[in-house]
Amino acid sequence: MQNIKMLVRSIAQHALYLREISYYPSTMRPDKAHCASGTTTVTR
């Protein structure tokens, strides 16, 4: 059951990330490195 919870959470985060990308125009689209650095600063 724990694995299913983690899977659902990762899918939700991925969907949120995709929505964030599609929100920006293609010129301002943040790449994965930018998103990763942003998440690390938030967790820190």
Mean pLDDT for each consecutive 10-residue tract of the chain (44 residues)? Answer: 88 81 58 50 46
pLDDT reported for residue 5: 92
- Give the N- to C-terminal CA distance of the chain in Å, as an integer: 29
The residue among 23, 30, 1 whose CA lies nearest residue 39 is 30
Cα(36)–Cα(39) distance, integer angstroms: 5
Residue 18's pLDDT is 76
